[in-house]
């Protein structure tokens, strides 16, 4: 089967491409490379032995997207990752976020309707739950007002899917609500490639340990949690990628219970920032240089997933331990350092 993966050179996208290729799917990637690197294609090919198809353009461009669908036939399903994802940046550039994240989804849905493509998997986020009243958070938990324009794009995108599927009953969609994806492929050939200073915890930890950053700042130790630092549900990117393969197969094999389904993708375990640091120190054998500073504005205190619906319905479960996730992230950072050295 032929699958279009938008944002397929990005962090989660590239890992998903590899898993799709492993089950024999033909993959075509569309990415504008605004937050990724063309060299990812070489590394995907090194892992799988197959170079995915690739086109570089902006899916927020209606004419270019329509033209892509005119030229590419036989697509069985779409996995739509392409989006901006930096929470803080979205506060400063809201229109940038609304335009990119929502217009691209609408252009893709237009292409699906025009060309009879019925299946789309959408990258959503646990950010749609805000700070939940009850933990763990299940798919039935209320959607809270978004904390950021980025979070709002995920909420609105789910509404766009809901309304479009209502109007066009031939369409089906699965929204996967990711918790905190971390780690890298075991080959250390693909992983997270933050542009500039990382926003997220794990790349900041590994960059500090390798010497690219001086010190990690831990944002707040006065939360209502056992050690005072904020709690998240960290999931290995390879486990997450595998869930996309299950989701696309579920649609293509017509096993869905409703035209639009939502699933939480996490491990079900909450870890504090200090837990993550401890795991890193254990697997890397080094002490991390960190300091406790004030809370980061907009951060929720604690969130972790009730994964029972995803586990039971998809027959999928996140398998990796925290140490495995942190070791893979560290191996990836070290491999990047070796590459940078040999290129300099």
CA distance 154 to 160: 10
On whether the CB atoms of residues 203 and 210 are closer than 8 A, the answer is: no
**87 touches ligand UFG by CB under 6 A:** yes
SS3 of 246, please? helix
On whether the CB atoms of residues 178 and 11 are closer than 8 A, the answer is: no
Contacting residue, 55, 110, 281, 299, with ligand UFG by CB under 6 A: 299
**85 touches ligand UFG by CB under 6 A:** yes
Contacting residue, 32, 153, 180, 207, with ligand UFG by CB under 6 A: 180
CA 310 to chain centre: 16
Contacting residue, 218, 247, 277, 283, with ligand UFG by CB under 6 A: 218
Which pair of tokens denotes residue 10? 């990005």
**219 touches ligand UFG by CB under 6 A:** yes
On whether the CB atoms of residues 130 and 144 are closer than 8 A, the answer is: yes
On whether the CB atoms of residues 31 and 13 are closer than 8 A, the answer is: yes
- Binding mask 111-150 toward ligand UFG (x if CB under 6 A, else -) reads --------------xxx-----------------------
Q: Which is nearer to ligand UFG, 218 or 327 (CB)?
A: 218
Alpha-carbon distances, residue 258 vs 92, 112, 201, 207, 222 (angstroms): 37, 19, 36, 43, 42
**230 touches ligand UFG by CB under 6 A:** yes
**175 touches ligand UFG by CB under 6 A:** no
Minimal distance in Å, beta carbon 320 to ligand UFG?
A: 17
**296 touches ligand UFG by CB under 6 A:** yes
Q: Spot the catalytic one: 84, 97, 129, 150.
A: 150
Please count the residues of this chain forming the interface with ligand UFG, following the rule CB under 6 A: 20
**240 touches ligand UFG by CB under 6 A:** no
Minimal distance in Å, beta carbon 227 to ligand UFG?
A: 12
Minimal distance in Å, beta carbon 309 to ligand UFG?
A: 19
Minimal distance in Å, beta carbon 83 to ligand UFG?
A: 10
Q: Which is nearer to ligand UFG, 8 or 149 (CB)?
A: 149
CA 315 to chain centre: 20
Minimal distance in Å, beta carbon 87 to ligand UFG?
A: 6
On whether the CB atoms of residues 149 and 107 are closer than 8 A, the answer is: no
Neighbours of 8 (CB within 10 A): 29
Minimal distance in Å, beta carbon 22 to ligand UFG?
A: 26
Q: Which is nearer to ligand UFG, 43 or 264 (CB)?
A: 264
- Nearest residue to ligand UFG, by Cβ distance, number only: 230
Nearest Cα neighbor of 194 from 208, 185, 207, 181 is 207
On whether the CB atoms of residues 177 and 125 are closer than 8 A, the answer is: yes
DSSP 261-273: EEEEES-S--EEH
Where is 47: in which H helix or E strand?
helix 39-48
* Beta-ladder partners of 182: 236
Q: Tell me if residue 150 is catalytic.
A: yes
The footprint of ligand UFG (CB under 6 A) covers 85, 87, 125-127, 151, 180, 199-201, 204, 216-219, 230, 232, 273, 296, 299
Active site residues: 150
């Amino acid at each position: 089967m032929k699958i279009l993966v938008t944002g397929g050179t990005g962090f989660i996208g590239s890992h998903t491409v590899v898993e799709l290729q492993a089950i024999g799917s033909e993959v075509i990637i569309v990415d504008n490379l605004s937050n990724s690197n063309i060299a990812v294609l070489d590394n995907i090919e090194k892992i799988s032995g197959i170079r995915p198809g690739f086109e570089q353009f902006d899916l927020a461009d209606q004419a270019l997207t329509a033209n892509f669908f005119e030229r590419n036939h036989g697509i069985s399903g779409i996995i739509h990752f392409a989006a901006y994802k930096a929470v803080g940046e979205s506060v400063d550039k809201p229109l940038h976020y609304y335009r990119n994240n929502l217009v691209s989804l609408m252009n893709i849905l237009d292409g699906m309707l025009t060309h009879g493509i019925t299946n789309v998997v959408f990258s959503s986020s646990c950010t749609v739950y805000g700070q939940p009243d009850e933990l763990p958070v299940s798919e039935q938990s209320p959607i809270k007002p978004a904390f950021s324009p980025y979070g709002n794009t995920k909420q609105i995108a789910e509404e766009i899917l809901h309304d479009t599927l209502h109007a066009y009953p031939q369409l089906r969609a699965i929204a996967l609500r990711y918790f905190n994806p971390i780690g890298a492929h075991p080959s250390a050939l693909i992983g997270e490639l933050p542009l500039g200073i990382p926003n997220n915890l794990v790349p900041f930890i590994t960059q500090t340990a390798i010497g690219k950053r001086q010190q990690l700042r831990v944002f707040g130790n006065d939360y209502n949690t056992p050690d005072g630092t904020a709690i998240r549900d960290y999931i290995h990117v390879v486990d997450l990628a595998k869930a996309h393969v299950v989701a696309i197969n579920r649609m293509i094999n017509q096993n869905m219970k409703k035209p639009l389904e939502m699933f939480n993708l996490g491990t079900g375990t909450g870890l504090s920032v200090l837990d993550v640091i401890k795991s890193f120190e254990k697997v890397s054998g080094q002490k991390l240089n960190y300091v406790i500073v004030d809370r980061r504005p907009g951060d929720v205190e604690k969130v972790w997933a009730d994964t029972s619906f995803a586990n039971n319905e998809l027959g999928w479960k996140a398998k990796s331990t925290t140490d495995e996730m942190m070791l893979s992230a560290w191996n990836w950072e070290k491999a990047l350092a070796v590459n940078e050295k040999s290129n300099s």
